[in-house]
């Protein structure tokens, strides 16, 4: 019986889009608390350095950041546990989060989304639950590959949320199409690894396309 698989596309419009079209909203916690944080920061700058009132304000800021972190972590913990429990194979894209954080335009949004924490949770929970996380190569054209006919479209600007395949006419939601393509590519890689193992061996908890021989990953 084939394993149940899910393609997981991480984004900044929706935090997560799944291959069945389901989405998880972006909590945008820093955005939610930005006015409160700004007010406390202004209050901190008005307090005299070394004063007890300044330290009290600093403590309030620290508590607010701790609250944001706890709420974010709890949401990601619930999401990743559900995904790992419901699926045997989970497929994501190698996003290169560290490199993306260098972008001034994207840095705050990616930090708020906490992609790195989400991926870390999927990684260690896959090992806990005996699942496999497949990390598809970052150069795989998940967004512009038509999931209906496999034709490759043109590069899409980040602002483009839907597109129509010039070959078959299928209309795609950008993130939903990417999630379907990730699932299919992840399953292909999963079976390449699984079929190469001895009968008594199971696939490892993490399969990275970037660590597999090029001759194996080539479609």
Q: Does 65 have pLDDT greater than 60? A: yes
Asked if 9 is an active-site residue, the reply is: yes
Q: Taking residues 1-21, report their average pLDDT.
A: 94
Question: Which pLDDT does position 213 carry in this prediction?
Answer: 79
Q: Which residue's entry shows tokens 């995904």?
A: 83
- List 19, 112, 175, 185, catalytic entry: 175
Question: Which pLDDT does position 88 carry in this prediction?
Answer: 97
DSSP assignment letter at 205: S
Asked if 112 is an active-site residue, the reply is: no
In terms of phi and psi (left: phi > 0; alpha: psi -120 to 50; beta: otherwise), the region of 14 is beta
Asked if 55 is an active-site residue, the reply is: no
Q: In what order do the strands lie in the sheet with 132-136?
A: 23-25, 14-18, 5-10, 89-93, 132-136, 206-208
- List 9, 19, 184, 185, catalytic entry: 9
Q: Please tell me whether residue 155 adopts helix, strand or coil conformation.
A: coil
Give the CA-trace dihedral at 59, 65, 67, 71, to 10 degrees: -170
Q: Which pLDDT tens digit goes with each residue over 23-54?
A: 999 888 888 888 898 898 888 888 878 788 88
Question: Which pLDDT does position 167 carry in this prediction?
Answer: 96
Question: Which pLDDT does position 98 carry in this prediction?
Answer: 72
């Amino acid at each position: 019986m084939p394993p149940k698989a899910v393609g997981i596309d991480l984004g900044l419009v929706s935090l997560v889009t799944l291959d069945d079209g389901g989405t998880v909203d972006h909590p945008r916690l820093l955005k939610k608390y930005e006015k409160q944080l700004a007010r406390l920061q202004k209050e901190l700058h008005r307090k005299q350095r070394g004063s007890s009132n300044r330290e009290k304000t600093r403590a309030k800021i620290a508590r607010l950041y701790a609250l944001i972190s706890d709420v974010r972590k709890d949401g990601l913990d619930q999401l990743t546990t559900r995904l790992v429990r419901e699926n045997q194979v989970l497929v994501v894209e190698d996003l290169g989060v560290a490199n993306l954080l260098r972008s001034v335009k994207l840095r705050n949004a990616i930090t708020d989304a906490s992609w790195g924490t989400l991926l870390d949770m999927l990684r260690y929970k896959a090992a806990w639950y005996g699942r496999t996380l497949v990390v598809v190569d970052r150069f795989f054209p998940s967004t512009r590959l038509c999931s209906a006919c496999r034709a490759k479209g043109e590069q899409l600007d980040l602002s483009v949320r839907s597109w129509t395949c010039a070959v078959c006419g299928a209309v795609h939601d950008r993130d939903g199409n990417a999630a379907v393509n990730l699932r299919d590519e992840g399953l292909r890689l999963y079976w390449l690894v699984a079929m190469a193992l001895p009968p008594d061996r199971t696939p490892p908890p993490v399969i990275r396309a970037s660590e597999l021989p090029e001759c194996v990953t080539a479609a």
